[in-house]
Structure 1
Amino acid sequence: MDLDPTALQTLVTVVQEGTFDRAASRLHVTPSAVSQRIRALEQSVGRVVVSRSKPVVATPAGEVLLRLAGHWDLLRGDALAELVPEAREAAYPRVAVVVNADSLATWILPALARAQEELRVTLDVIREDEEYASDRVRSGVALAAVTADPRPVAGCRITGLGSMRYLAACTPAFHRRWFADGLRATALDAAPVVRFDHKDTMQHRVARRWVRRDVDPPAHVIGSSREFAEAVALGMGWGLIPVDWAQPWVEDGTLVPLGPRAQHEVPLHWLSSRLPSRTLDVLTRCVTEEAHAALR
Structure 2
Amino acid sequence: MTIDPVALATLAAVVREGTFERAAARLHVTPSAVSQRVKALETGIGQVVVSRTKPVTPTAAGEVLLRLAHHWDLLVHEALGELVPQEGQVGRPLVPVVVNADSLATWILPALARAQDELGISLDVIREDEQHASALVRSGAALAAVTSDPTPVAGCRLTTLGSLRYVAACTPAFKRRWLPDGARAADLDRAPLVRFDRKDLLQHRAARRWVRRDIDPPTTFVPSSREFAEAVRLGVGWAMVPVAWAEQGLGDGTLVTVARRPHLSVDLHWLAWKLPSRVLAGLGRCVSEEAGRALSRA
Asked whether the two chains share a fold, i.e. TM above 0.5, the reply is yes
Contact 1:174 1:235 in 2 (8 A): yes
Shift of 1:29: 2.2
Code of the residue aligned with 1:190 in structure 2: it is R
Output the CA distance in 1 between the equivalents of 2:283 and 2:55: 30
Q: Residues 245-284 of structure 1: matches in 2 within 5 Å?
A: 245-284=245-284
Shift of 1:147: 0.3
Look up the match of 2:48.
48
Code of the residue aligned with 1:99 in structure 2: it is V
Q: Residues 10-49 of structure 1: matches in 2 within 5 Å?
A: 10-49=10-49
Identity over aligned residues, as a percent? 67
Deviations 1:231-263 (A, max 9, x none): 000000111111011010111111100011110
Q: Residues 64-143 of structure 1: matches in 2 within 5 Å?
A: 64-86=64-86, 90-143=90-143
What TM-score do the two structures reach when normalised by structure 2? 0.96
Code of the residue aligned with 2:14 in structure 1: it is V
Deviations 1:10-33 (A, max 9, x none): 111111122222222222222222
What TM-score do the two structures reach when normalised by structure 1? 0.97
Q: Which moved more, 1:256-265 or 1:89-98?
A: 89-98
Look up the match of 2:163.
163
Unaligned runs of 5+ in 1: none
| Number of aligned residue pairs | 296
Shift of 1:88: 5.6
Output the CA distance in 2 between the equivalents of 1:65 and 1:238: 44
Output the CA distance in 2 between the equivalents of 1:142 and 1:34: 22
Deviations 1:4-53 (A, max 9, x none): 11111111111112222222222222222221111111001100111112
SS of alignment partner, residue 105 of structure 1: helix
Output the CA distance in 2 between the equivalents of 1:44 and 1:244: 53
SS of alignment partner, residue 165 of structure 1: strand
Output the CA distance in 1 between the equivalents of 2:191 and 2:19: 40
Output the CA distance in 2 between the equivalents of 1:86 and 1:186: 67
SS of alignment partner, residue 264 of structure 2: strand
Shift of 1:206: 1.3
Question: Are the structure 2 counterparts of residues 156 and 140 from structure 1 closer, same or farther at C-alpha, using a change threshold of 3 Å?
Answer: same
Output the CA distance in 2 between the equivalents of 1:226 and 1:216: 24
Shift of 1:215: 1.1
Query: What root-mean-square deviation, in Å, do the aligned CA atoms of Structure 1 and Structure 2 show?
Result: 1.2
Q: Which moved more, 1:72-81 or 1:137-146?
A: 72-81
Contact 2:24 2:31 in 1 (8 A): yes
Look up the match of 1:185.
185
Output the CA distance in 1 between the equivalents of 2:206 and 2:31: 47
Contact 1:88 1:120 in 2 (8 A): no
Output the CA distance in 2 between the equivalents of 1:86 and 1:217: 60
Contact 1:192 1:217 in 2 (8 A): yes
Look up the match of 1:225.
225
Output the CA distance in 1 between the equivalents of 2:71 and 2:10: 15
Find runs of 4+ consecutive structure 1 residues off by over 6 angstroms: none
